[in-house]
Structure 1
Amino acid sequence: MKYLGSALVAAVCLSWAVQPGQSYPLDYYFETKLDHVAASQDNRTFMMRYVVEDKFYNDPVNVNKSRPILFYAGNEGDIYSFYNNSGFMTKTLAEQFGALIVFAEHRYFGQSFPFDRSVAFTAPYNTYLTVENTLEDYIQLLKTVKMTWGAEDKAVIAFGGSYGGMLAAWIRMRYPAEIQGALAASAPLVYFQGAKTAASGDFSEIVTADFNNTYEDGRCAKGIKEGFTYLMDLKTRDADWAELGEVFSVCEPFKSADDIQNLYYYLGNGLNYMAMTDYPYPSSFLQPMPAWPITEACKAFADVAPQEPEPKNGSLGALSEREKTVLTALKSLSDVYFNYTNATECTNYNDTEASGSLDAEGWNVLACNQLAMPIDFGSADSMFITELFNETQYAEDCFTKYGLNPYYSWALDQFGGADFQKDFYDYSNIIFSNGELDPWRAGGVYKFVQFDLPFYVIRGGAHHLDLREPMPEDKETNVGWVRDQETQLIEQWINEYQSRVAAEKITFVQ
């Protein structure tokens, strides 16, 4: 996304719309403190939403099962959107274990705002949107849920995808007595300043590889790079802006070079999101897309042989034939993300986020405070225009817009990860999964630490594919095998905890 006017960065999480015609579990509200961590006594509270599905937990058929709590650590979006896209947890595992399903909505998202939305993300109201407060919200909520549903002696397994996966891992790390295990899917836990394993340019390199692999000669990624190069050249060719607008069917005529730059951000972020959601079946997240959307999109360059860009370098006149060919193909390619169902009449290049239903503003606050990720775009092999993360400019933008100063190493200082193979060694019972196709794999845990911290890279998998409901098309990946391993580990953690609880009860009776 166009991140506070600086670099092209795709947001960490996808927020999905609730699907019509489907039934959903009831939501509830929990009173939580506004500030859990301040030294001074601040007794203000607000109502936080959560969702509970108890049909398997209360089913008499499951009375002899372990009946754990499977807890989703909500991230930046409406909580039902995450419920709707976590079928492995809500259906497969819930039925197998007779589990109580709990989804917690993250403060400052969905319906869980402590202040009016019109001011919530501005200073000083935004200062309570922190990871520490969020984790404590979840721990206090679980206490209430356990009492309400008579589950005080049940194991709790945390789940989450993307930023939610980070929260799932962190809540296990910080509260191991309350959380017996965690599945952290596609969680960029170490994509922070100072981490040795997360190169700042790897995100864009993975996106490029996803597009590059559709043809042996790499014509898709090369064509995209050529098209982006032409856009940069066209910033100084105002006489050609009208024709460029016709190629991209823009909603508003281009009036400045900044508008052309915004078109680049808009297109680039759309391609980032396409890479993140490159699933083997049709899906409707930020936008409706077909199965394997990158393969489908790259058909636009099937007849466009790769060659070096031929920019006109500021000279006036009509678009060259090569420019028209490449830019038309780029428009057709991007339509697979932006307009696959032909529901959009024009290109709104001012929507530089290109995120559809994504809750971006709250994430911006989190990033400007504790979770800034210094991601670079562009290299000799990248399809993106070179744009390096500017720490000084980013900090200035954060302060100007939100009154916040980024703490770039906050996550590493709190939980470790500068060298995760060393720093994470004493943690346990956390599964780290990443998709081979997912650009956020660059900031994930993808190397061996120790046996109690298993990691999996899903072949042919995109952003937290393993959390989604199992589908027949999954056979084109190895996510089925990964889910089997995850299930066995989660069952082991649950049984170990329940055995300890049973032993303690026997000891107490004696």
Structure 2
Amino acid sequence: MAENISPLFVLSLVFFILISLTSSSPSLSLPPRLWPPRFLGQFSRKPASSNRLRLQQYRYDVRYFEQPLDHFSFSAEAPTFRQRYLISSDHWAGPERMAPIFLYCGNEGDIEWFAQNTGFVWEIAPKFGAMVLFPEHRYYGESLPFGSRDEANKNSTTLKYLTAEQALADFAVLVTNLKRNLSAEACPVVLFGGSYGGMLAAWMRLKYPHIAVGALASSAPILQFEDIVPPETFYDLVSNDFKRESISCFNTIKESWDAIISEGLKENGLSQLTKTFHLCRELKSTQDLIDWLYSAYSFLAMVDYPYPSNFLMPLPGHPIREVCEKIDGASDGTSILERIFKGVSIYYNYTGDADCFELDDDPHGMDGWNWQACTEMVMPMSCSRGGSMFPPSEFNLSFFEEDCRKSFGVTPRPRWITTQFGGHDIKTTLKIFGSNIIFSNGLLDPWSGGSVLQNISDSIVALIAEEGAHHTDLRPATPEDPDWLVEQRATEIRLIEGWLSAYYEAKRLIFDM
């Protein structure tokens, strides 16, 4: 029997947010979307198809470290939890040579999934004689306080220890303890991270400069907060990715929203939409279908890699091009909605394994990423009028706050991240207080609009790839890698070499004193 495929749209930053949508047509309107796709939080669960994928296998040991549940309390009976981490010393040159430690800042998901999809770190470790360390982010994977996922995510009392600040402290305590036990206190640490992990890598370099000599922050939208960047940036970039492939494809998608609403208003309209999109269960509202499509288009923009990949779903190279070819290439007489279904099937069913599709992932689930979105990871998003293929929308903080209070009993703090890690003028903050950070971005990635895209100083560097997608540089090397990607990785290696050389020179001078 063919497998049902889940929509996988509990994505992001946690990343996000409440959107109130209104159609461009005065006669039709879309209801408010209180919980749109959380694109970073997508990684809090492995893709449903991951058991079918052939992943690169890297050698590592799985270990556990007893972490304080609250690093910022001094209670005598403070509870702890077991943090999972992956470690490989296969190529480590050892403490005698002050060989480096490459630490990947775990994201909002299973750490083994990130380890398997971060080939760059593994591939350059032999060159540097580096140890490789992948600590898991608290509340994700197997690093669960209170004994189980259900207990950890039970309510605001148990979830209150899930913050970026606590996670960074976990990384700092773990690597400090590890270095002490290995007599490797002099070994420099280089941080790596992609997406939310890239944000953590950049923030850790700022907060713990004595622990790490530098950070490679790939696709890290550290500017996606408050109004530092326009809230429509993300969805405008998604739209641009489709427009650059085909203006007719872009227009078909833009027209499809009214077609969906119009069909849904008809007698038996939801049943017809269920059939058109091959859904496993009767559609209850057009909004469920709209969310499903938003997710597909957004993910496709994130993973528009130039070669076949299986990061989120098994996909061909240049998947947006493939989607638009399906939409544009449908035979005469094919309806708009049938064209849309053919297109999104590239994302949801490229392998052809699915007979039907499930739309029942619950974005209101008490999972870790939704909690982070409702507390400190508040990233406003909206859709612009005219230039977007999505219906116009505006972020409504009041509605979002109300929904978070209903779901978790907490009120979001949209200004906390800028208070904690740097305010609106974060670039000045980085220039004055920061050093040795690479912000790498692919301009096809819709998250690039919230990242650092210009050099800030000689040591805080922005590497931009016009044809790059979501942390393309961190993915395993392939024979299909374009020249620009090979060159970008070579530049990153040279910069890391520079950090380490400066560190060793400083150590030599200290020893000579």
Bin for the TM-score computed over the shorter chain = 0.7 to 0.9
**1:332 counterpart residue number:** 342
Aligned to 1:365: 371
More deviation in 360-369 or 179-188? Answer: 360-369
Q: Which amino acid aligns with 2:136?
A: E
- For 1:150, what is the secondary structure of its paired residue? coil
Q: Is the 8 A contact 1:73 1:164 kept in 2?
A: yes
Deviations 1:225-264 (A, max 9, x none): 111221122332233332222211111123x4xx211001
Q: What does residue range 60-79 of structure 1 map to in structure 2 within 5 Å? A: 67-79=99-111
Cα distance change on mapping 1:20 and 1:206 into 2, 3 Å = closer
- Residue 387 of structure 2 is aligned to residue 387 of structure 1: no
1:11 to 33, 39, 56: 39
- 1:344 deviates by 1.4
Match in the other structure for 2:301: 275
**Contact conserved, 2:279 with 2:359, CA < 8 A, in 1?**
yes
- For residues 127 and 41 of structure 1, the distance between their equivalents in structure 2, rounded to whole angstroms, comes to 19
Separation (CA, whole Å) in 2 of partners of 1:44 and 1:352: 31
Letter paired with 2:89: D
- Decide which of 99, 111, 131 is 2:130's aligned counterpart: 99
Q: Post-superposition shift, 1:99?
A: 0.3
Aligned to 1:30: 65
- Is 1:123 the counterpart of 2:156? The answer is yes
Q: Where does the alignment leave 5 or more consecutive residues of structure 2 unmatched? A: 1-8, 11-16, 19-32
> Secondary structure in 2 aligned to 1:433?
strand
CA distance in 2, matches of 1:20, 1:295: 24
Q: CA deviation at 1:360?
A: 9.2
Alignment pair present for 1:149 and 2:159: no
Alignment partners' CA distance in 2, 1:244 and 1:366? 34
Counterpart CA distance in 1 for 2:279 and 2:344 is 13
CA 1:304 to 1:78, structure 2 compared with 1: closer, same or farther past 3 Å? same
Q: CA deviation at 1:304?
A: 6.4
- Whether contact under 8 Å (2:263, 2:270) holds in the other structure is yes
Whole-Å separation in 1 of the counterparts to 2:118 and 2:346 = 24
SS at match of 1:159: strand
Q: Which residue of 1 aligns with 2:355?
A: 345
Alignment partner of 1:469 out of 470, 473, 476: 476
Query: Are the counterparts in 1 of residues 93 and 99 from structure 2 also a CA contact under 8 Å?
Result: no
Residue aligning to 1:245:
274
Q: Give the CA deviation at 1:387.
A: 2.8
Matched residue, 2:327: 301
Q: In structure 1, which of residues 203, 210, 227 is the aligned counterpart of residue 256 of structure 2?
A: 227
The residue matched to 1:454 in structure 2 has which SS? Answer: strand
Query: 2:80 corresponds to which residue?
Result: 45
| DSSP-derived class of the 2:428 partner | helix
In structure 2, the partner of 1:317 is: none
Which stretch has the larger CA shift, 281-290 or 141-150? 141-150
SS at match of 1:473: coil
What does residue 404 of structure 2 align with?
Answer: 398
Say which SS state the counterpart of residue 124 (structure 1) adopts: helix
2:512 aligned partner:
506
Q: What's the offset of the Cα at 1:151? A: 2.1
1:184 aligns with 2:217: yes
- 1:164 maps to which of 197, 205, 213: 197
CA distance in 2, matches of 1:277, 1:25: 27
Maintained 8 Å contact 1:10/1:272? no
Matched residue of 2:463: which SS?
strand
Q: Give, in angstroms, the shift of residue 83 of structure 1.
A: 0.7
Within the alignment, does 1:431 sit opposite 2:438 as a pair? Answer: yes
Q: Tell me how far apart the structure 1 counterparts of residues 484 and 359 of structure 2 sit (CA, whole Å).
A: 37
SS at match of 1:213: helix
Percent of matched pairs sharing the same residue: 35
User: What residue ranges of structure 1 are gaps of 5+ in the alignment?
Assistant: 306-320, 354-358
Aligned to 1:208: 239
Q: Aligned residue for 2:382?
A: 376
Asked whether the equivalents of residues 117 and 311 of structure 2 are also in contact (C-alpha less than 8 Å), the reply is no
Distance 2:399 2:480 in 1: 44
| 1:23 to 1:99, Cα distance in 2 relative to 1, 3 A | closer
- Quote how far apart the aligned CAs of 1:286 are: 2.1
Cα contact 1:78–1:109 (8 A) shared by 2: yes
Partner AA of 2:111 in structure 1: I
Amino acid at match of 1:225: K
CA contact (8 A) 2:119 2:475 kept: yes
AA matched with 2:302: M
Q: How does 1:408-419 map to 2 (within 5 A)?
A: 408-419=414-425
**1:409 CA displacement:** 1.4
| Alignment TM-score, normalising by the size of structure 1 | 0.88
Superimposed CA distance per residue, residues 346-397 of structure 1 (whole angstroms, 9 cap, x where no aligned partner): 12233376xxxxx992111111111110111342111112232221111111
Q: Contact 2:89/2:131 (CA < 8 Å) preserved in 1?
A: yes
1:388-415: per-residue Cα shift (whole Å, max 9, x none)?
A: 2221111111121112221101111112
For 1:479 and 1:383, how far apart are their aligned partners in 2?
A: 29
C-alpha contact 1:194 1:409 (8 A) present in aligned 2: no
Distance in 2 (alpha carbons) for counterparts of 1:222 and 1:102? 46
d(CA) in 2 for partners of 1:95, 1:459: 29
C-alpha displacement of 1:46: 0.9
Q: Equivalents in 1 of 2:402, 2:504: separation in Å?
A: 51
- Give 3-state SS (helix, strand or coil) of 2:410's partner: coil
Residue 484 of structure 1 is matched in structure 2 by 490
* Aligned AA (1:365): W
- 2:305 partner letter: Y
**Structure 1 residues 469 and 425: CA distance shift in structure 2, 3 A:** same
Q: Distance in 1 between matches of 2:269 and 2:418?
A: 48
1:316 maps to which residue? Answer: none
Q: Report the counterpart of residue 3 of structure 2 in structure 1.
A: none
